[in-house]
């Protein structure tokens, strides 16, 4: 298993254990909000999707060998509303509760311990706006990690 894959699975497992909510589905990929609208019946109340976005080398041991990188991760939150006329208490407010719990987790998680020092940090960078569709409300949270590239990645 490659380092990038292991980071995603280890971080997602840590987040799932911290949140301890059987009504939330945790997945290791970005799902287009339109695809959620098209019939995801397996999402009881909410979905949290963690995925890698971009990576940029920040430190080299010489001109050829990367040592550290800055990796951005997205965490998508989707909450099922069920009816188009539901007010914020059925969509936006529960979504914000999940957002706050994820931010709390990120503030206390030891990323190095969780990932066997594949990443050293995992910090919250901000969020996008909330979007409301017929069935789900959605938001993306952005995080940055410092990744160790000096060890074997595969």
- Quote the mean pLDDT of the chain: 93
Where are the domains positioned within the chain?
A: 3-148
How far does CA 129 lie from the centroid of its chain? 15
Tokens of 85: 């006329």
With 90 as the cut, is the pLDDT of residue 154 above it?
A: no
Burial class (CB in 10 A: 0-12, 13-18, 19+), 106: buried
Interhelix angle 92-108/3-19, nearest 10 degrees: 120
Q: Rounded to 5, what percent of the chain is helix, strand, coil?
A: 30, 40, 30
User: Could you tell me where the DSSP H helices lie in the chain?
Assistant: 3-19, 33-37, 92-108, 111-114
Q: Give the model confidence (pLDDT) of 17-73 as tens digits.
A: 999 999 999 999 999 988 898 878 899 999 999 999 999 999 999 888 899 999 999
The pLDDT of residue 82: 65
CB 12 within 8 A of CB 52: no
| Residue range 1-12, pLDDT digits in tens | 799 999 999 999
Give 100-112 pLDDT, tens digit per residue. Answer: 999 999 999 999 9
d(CA 139, CA 59): 32
Q: Which class is domain 3-148?
A: alpha beta
Report the percentage of the chain scoring pLDDT > 90.
77
Closest by CA to 141, choosing from 132, 130, 151, is 130
């Amino acid at each position: 298993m490659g380092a990038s894959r292991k980071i995603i699975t280890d971080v997602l497992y840590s987040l799932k254990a911290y949140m301890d909510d059987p009504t939330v589905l945790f997945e290791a990929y970005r799902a287009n909000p339109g695809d959620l609208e098209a019939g995801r019946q397996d999402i009881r109340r909410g979905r949290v999707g963690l995925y890698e976005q971009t990576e940029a080398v920040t430190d080299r041991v010489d001109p050829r060998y990367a040592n550290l990188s800055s990796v951005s991760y997205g965490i998508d939150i989707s909450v099922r509303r069920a009816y188009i006329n539901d007010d914020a208490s059925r969509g936006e407010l529960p979504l914000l509760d999940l957002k706050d719990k994820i931010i709390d987790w990120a503030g206390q998680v030891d990323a190095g311990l969780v990932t066997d020092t594949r990443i050293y940090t995992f910090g919250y960078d901000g969020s996008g706006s909330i979007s409301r569709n017929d069935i789900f409300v959605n938001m993306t949270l952005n995080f940055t990690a410092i990744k160790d590239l000096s060890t074997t990645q595969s």
